[in-house]
Chains A and B, each alone.
Chain A
Amino acid sequence: MTNSFSQTRIARIASRLRRLATRRSIRLTSEGTRFLLLTLGIGMAAINTGNNLFYLLLAMMLSLVVISGLLSEQCLRGLAFHRHVPDLVMANDPTTVTLSVTNRHAHLPSFSVKLFDVAGGQDLDRGLFVGHLPAQRSLLLSYPLLASTRGWIRLECIRAETLFPFGLFRKRALYQVHADILVGPPIKPLSLRFVDELVSEGQGLSLPRRGHGTQLYNLRLYQPGDDSRAIHWMTTARTSQLIVRETEAEDQRRITILLSTVAPEDRNFLFEHSVTLVASLLWQLSHRSYPLRLIVGREDSGLGSGSDHLLAMLRLLALCERRQPGRSADDAADQVGALSHDAERGYTVVVMPWVDPDRPAAPVAADRVLHAAQIEELTHAF
């Protein structure tokens, strides 16, 4: 008991020390190495001769070293960071991350500070450089972020580095500024013929809904982002509030897309393409204002429309993971079977990157099933 307690304490102290060590570090630059060698030489000359003017010169060089340490510390100490990241970014689609840097120091400005993102313990050079930041001032830096794979990106810290004032030492400081960025699958252009086919196949399963059309569906308050052409001026004049007119969609098909997440490892590539295909399809259909529903593995987005719903579905796709075959509970066929009892499922598209050849094909109650060959055909240009 006592042993485990002391071990815990030691581990805690070690962790604190490690954190302390990583928070500040100082390294010699090549100029600094030369400078210190010269200092050493002058020191030896001073000791050898006892000449006080050599000692004076030595003291000057040592004081420059000390001043370097003090000023670089002052340069970094007052900095505070705040990172602004979008809620969702798409893979292979550059997005902008904004970093706010504040110099909280009362009097001293900060000079020549390079900033790095720290992710996975690695410093990522985004080309961020603060040449001069006066005391009590902030500035915004932005840089492009290009994620190559979907999922979470965790930006752990910001590392600030300065050579100020004399370039003799490279002083680095670590600031805990966490940011988690969700990366969705990339959105790719799809064949218009394929999308049109899907749209035309599910006629009849319609409900009145908002969308492109000519018939009045609803009047509501104007919200930022609304098309100004949709403002209903007469009602606006009557009520003194901006009112927009919503129209009833002319085509009113509901579409459910089910993505099977079961695939062996060697089909991972195709699975990822399937995810991209589903994301792109959702994007296209959402822009045509269809009520959409996405089922990924056990996750179900529910039926909905609009940009928020699209984002929710893309988040599901961002986080979905391929599962090894053998866990029948996750099987897409079972889920489709369950869906067959759902009256509101609408037109159902099942995307199956892999089908177990050893199992008999289950009766799939889907309107359209995309198997590996079709997925490959649709995504070969991705």
Chain B
Amino acid sequence: MPFEQAFRLSSVLLAATALTGLLFARIVPAWLAAVTILILTVTLLDAIDWPPGMRLAARMPASPILWNGLLIGAFALFLLDAAIISGEMLPAGIHFLVILLGIKLLTLHHRRDYRHLYAICLMALLATASLTTDAWYVPVFLLYLLATVWTLLLYHLTGQTPRSVPTPTGRPNALPNPRRITGRFFWLTNGIALLTFALTLAIFFVLPRVSAGLLPKSRGEGLKTTGFSERVDLGMIGSVKEDPQIVMRVELPDQPAPGKDRLYLRGLAYDRYDGRSWSAGSRHRRNLGLIGDGTFLVRPSGSRTPSGPSDQLRQDILLEALDTSVLFAAPFAESLSGEFAGVQADAMTGLHVPYPASSRIRYSVTSREPRITADEQSARELDYANAVRDRYLQLPELSPRVTELARRVAEGATTPYEKTAAVLQHLLNGYRYSLDLETTASARPIEDFLFARKTGYCEHYATAMVVMLRSLGIPARLVTGFLATEWNDFGGYYTVRQRDAHAWVEVYYPRSGWITLDPTPASGAVPSPSGWEALQRIGESLRLQWDRTFIRYSARDQLAVVHGLRDGSDSARDVVGQWVTALRAAAARTLDRVATQTRTADPVAGGFLAVLPAALLALLIVLVRTRWRSGLFSNRPAARAQQIVHLYRRMQDIAARQGIVTGPSTTPMEFVKLVGREWTEAGSTVASVTALYCRGRFSGAALSREELAGALEQVGALQHLTRAAR
């Protein structure tokens, strides 16, 4: 393919890549996308000259007035878009950019137009980068980089038309220039692109991360969630139970494989129930204390730690941008670290950031989930504090049937623990999980659930359990959060989606603390994992890696790398030092032994030791010569051409030693004549090798390995030939 055609093609492909990024970002309206794709297709077909001779784009009217008018129109549209249609500068600017791209593609007449196109493409990629953090940006970026290298290279090469300077011979000084894409050029350019990519990665990781925030950052809208506001109506969570959007990813650094098949991620707890909705009695939040290195201590210092057994669990959480300021963690968070200006905790240890994040946030949490102690399991009565009784035994006006049901279920249970277990079993076994509920709000949803429909979802189960426990005098509260069940084997983390939103119950034991219980039975609609899902999980895992390595890469990571390198170099230095010491000791021992053996006057060993260095030297020479010979028989014709030149020079040296000295201006044929006259015995050998030299060096024809081997032998023989005295 000629350079000019390849240049047009790569330019259009660059534009295609830039447009693809914007299309993936879903910011371009369908009509505009369709028109631009159409233009792109036409210019692409023109670039590859298909159908031959058509050149549709070239036939476009070239009147500058028309195109300038179009540009003015596009700008007016941009103003209208920014003011009325989109109402925002960024989308309007991107729409304008796409229109400019389309116009420019149709008016690629001069090199100046190509430069404009490249600037537009760069802006488009920049806009894409500002709109997304998704992993699809990777292929777009890679393609863009590849197209950029090709385009810039061809832009330069097609612009370097040599001037034809007439010479006395009548030929211009323009050198034989391929000006076509050869195989070598193709691989060279791709090699440059690969090198550029490697360097890009290196620079990316080394560039100091400074976020000055000179201009205010717009706060994007987060993912809409339900169940994490001040007040939660029964039935709210049901609306998101089919939503597959990812909310967060949770890694367990201490557990490469999940220890359990489900992980509760606690959001908010609610203590007041008014018969239809839950709310928190106290809205007070306290700021968590910072204990250094961005770590916040969740449990107030001096507070009493539950005395029962507990399991510690560390989690690394990557939370998508949500419309809530709640931070999620496995119950119950003890410490939290991340790049937060501040973290707050409410009265029921719900964690909050000051305002909803505009982008993904990453944080680590250490949780400790208490287990009920054996004595509290068997205690007939538990001594609850008044504050606890007041707050967690509150009940709205309920139908006496609920209290009656609770008593009947707990009949026979003698301890609070047994009563709790009885209520839990009753709900788990006696009711059916279903999302197919009427959305119309019921006046008494719990009574409907317990006695009428007997079907519901997590909120109904959890509320019913809290109400029944409270009616039995056991303090309990409702908790909303997420129930992670989708473990990604490839990435080693839980994927948490909107549909994993969940509600469950926490029951209070004075010494064990709050114990998590979930009365909701498993949903029967769990899809079986398929091959497609496995692929999805791989993609999901790659996305997480992308996010972790590139999107979340920060100055802290850079510092960690530096520390790691420093530690690594320290340990490497130690290891090398140990090696050197060991080697030195071994060498000293060996020398000592050698000296002793020499002193014992063993003539054989002494002789061997004397010969050893010479033998090693000889071996080295043989190796070097073998290496040279192997180079001689290289498969590359260029290398063989080099070798024949080397042989010819060697032959000249041999002749010079015999007194036949040639000057720099002596031609090969003169050399042959001279040797033939002065050293008859060597004449034929020199003529033969010189003929090979001339052919290998000047004809461009490759020498065969056999010819080269023959020449080598002849030159070797020449070395032993002595010139007869004259």
Is B a genuine binding partner of A?
yes
Least Cβ distance of B307 to chain A in Å?
A: 45
**A63-B196, A136-B642 are contacts. A129–B173 as well, Cβ < 8 Å?**
yes
Q: How far is the CA of A136 from the CA of B638 in the complex (A)?
A: 8
Total of A-B residue pairs, C-beta within 8 Å = 162
Interface stretch of the complex, out of B198-206, B328-336, B579-587: B198-206
CB of A54 to closest CB in B, whole Å:
6
Contact with B along A121-134 (1 / 0, CB 8 A): 00000111111110
Q: Does B382 contact A (CB under 8 A)?
A: no
Within 8 A of B (CB), among A19-76: 31, 34, 38, 42, 44-45, 47-60, 62-64, 66-67, 71
CB distance from B112 to the nearest CB of A (A): 11
Contact A112-B211, Cβ < 8 Å, known A56-B200, A135-B638, A142-B167: no
Known A66-B199, A144-B167; contact A50-B214, beta-carbon cutoff 8 A: no
- A332 contacts chain B at the CB level, 8 A cutoff: no
Which of the candidate stretches B123-131, B287-295, B569-577, B646-654 sits at the interface with the other chain? B123-131
Q: Encode contact with B along A103-131: 1 for CB under 8 Å, 0 otherwise.
A: 00000010110000000000000111111
Residues of A within 8 A of B207 (CB): 55, 58-59, 62
Residues of A within 8 A of B133 (CB): 53
Interface string of B192-230 (1 = CB under 8 A from A): 100111011111100101111111010000000000000
| Residues 118-165 (chain A) with a chain B CB within 8 angstroms | 126-133, 135-136, 139, 141-144, 163-165
Minimal beta-carbon separation of B446 from chain A (angstroms):
48
Assess whether A128 is in contact with B217, with CB atoms less than 8 Å apart: no
B60 to chain A, nearest CB (A): 26
* Residues in A174-224 with C-beta less than 8 Å from chain B: none
Question: Looking at the complex, which one of A51, A63, A96, A165 makes contact with B129 (CB distance below 8 Å)?
Answer: A51
Contact indicator A166/B153 (Cβ below 8 Å): yes
Asked whether, in the complex, the Cβ of B157 is within 8 Å of the Cβ of A112, the reply is yes
State the Cβ distance, A71 to closest chain B Cβ, in Å.
7
Q: How far is the CB of B552 from chain A (nearest CB, A)?
A: 7
A165–B175 CB distance below 8 A: no
Residues of A within 8 A of B175 (CB): 129-133, 139, 141
Chain B residues with Cβ below 8 Å from A326 are none
The distance from the CB of B143 to the nearest CB of chain A, in whole angstroms, is 12
- A57 and B129 contact, Cβ closer than 8 Å, known pairs A52-B551, A52-B552, A131-B175: yes
The answer to whether residues A49 and B160 also contact, given A66-B199, A67-B195 and a CB cut-off of 8 A, is no
Residue A167 lies at the interface, judged by CB distance under 8 Å to chain B: yes
A96 touches B169 (CB 8 A): yes
- Per the bound structure, the CA–CA distance linking A131 and B182 in Å amounts to 14
**Distance between B656 CB and nearest chain A CB, rounded to angstroms:** 23
Q: Known contacts A38-B122, A53-B129, A96-B169: does B156 contact A131 (CB below 8 Å)? A: no
**Distance in angstroms between the alpha carbons of A59 and B206 in the assembled complex:** 9
Smallest distance from the beta carbon of B640 to chain A beta carbons, Å? 11
Q: Could you tell me if A56 and B165 are in contact, using CB atoms closer than 8 angstroms?
A: no
Bound: A135/B641 CA distance, A? 13
Does any Cβ of B come within 8 Å of A337's Cβ? no
Report if B163 contacts A (CB, 8 A). Answer: yes
B166 nearest in chain A by CB position = A144
Instruction: Give the docked Cα–Cα distance between A166 and B152 (Å).
Output: 5
B74 contacts A by Cβ under 8 Å = no
Q: Which residues of chain A come closer than 8 Å to B642, judged between CB atoms?
A: 136
Q: Is B302 in contact with chain A by the CB < 8 A criterion? A: no
The interface size bin for chain A is 35 or more
- Residues 119-162 of B, flagged 1 when their CB comes within 8 A of A and 0 if not, give 10010011001101100010001000100110011011101101
| Chain B residue with Cβ nearest A137 | B638
- Given A131-B175, A167-B152, A59–B200 Cβ distance below 8 Å? yes
Instruction: Please tell me which one of the listed residues A45, A59, A64 contacts residue B126 in the complex, with CB atoms under 8 A apart.
Output: A45
Complex contact B204–A112 (CB within 8 A): no
Determine if B192 and A127 form an interchain contact, defined as CB atoms under 8 angstroms apart. no
Contacts of B156 in A (CB 8 A): 112, 163-167
Task: Tell which of A59, A128, A131 touches B177, judged by Cβ atoms closer than 8 Å.
Answer: A131
User: Does residue B444 face the partner (Cβ distance < 8 Å to A)?
Assistant: no
Q: Which residues of B contact A111 (CB under 8 A)?
A: 157
Closest approach, in angstroms, between the C-beta of B128 and any C-beta of chain A?
Answer: 8
Per the bound structure, the CA–CA distance linking A50 and B641 in Å amounts to 56
State whether A54 touches B129 (Cβ < 8 A). Answer: yes
Q: Is B553 an interface residue (CB 8 A)?
A: yes
Q: Which residues from chain B contact A132 at a C-beta distance below 8 Å?
A: 175-178
CB distance from B636 to the nearest CB of A (A): 10
Shortest beta-carbon distance from A178 to chain B in Å: 16
Is B72's beta carbon under 8 Å from chain A?
A: no
Q: Given A67-B192, A167-B159, answer yes or no on A59-B204 (Cβ-Cβ < 8 Å).
A: yes
A66 CB contacts on chain B under 8 angstroms: 199, 203
Q: How far apart sit A164 and B214, CA to CA, in the bound complex (Å)?
A: 37
B179 at the interface (CB under 8 A from A): yes
B453 CB–A CB distance under 8 Å? no
With A129-B163, A131-B160 known, 10 other A-B pairs at CB within 8 A are A48-B214, A49-B213, A56-B141, A58-B207, A59-B201, A109-B184, A131-B174, A136-B642, A142-B168, A167-B159
Binding site for A on B (CB under 8 A): 115, 119, 122, 125-126, 129-130, 132-133, 137, 141, 145, 148-149, 152-153, 155-157, 159-160, 162-169, 173-179, 184, 188, 192, 195-197, 199-204, 207, 209-215, 217, 550-553, 638, 641-642
Which residues of A does B touch, CB under 8 Å?
31, 34, 38, 42, 44-45, 47-60, 62-64, 66-67, 71, 94-96, 109, 111-112, 126-133, 135-136, 139, 141-144, 163-168
- Show 21 A/B contacts (Cβ-Cβ < 8 Å), sorted by A: A42-B126, A44-B214, A48-B211, A50-B213, A53-B129, A53-B130, A53-B132, A53-B550, A55-B207, A60-B145, A63-B203, A67-B196, A95-B168, A127-B164, A127-B173, A131-B174, A139-B176, A143-B165, A144-B165, A163-B160, A166-B153
Closest 8 CB pairs of A and B: A50-B211, A131-B177, A127-B165, A53-B129, A167-B156, A63-B199, A129-B162, A59-B204
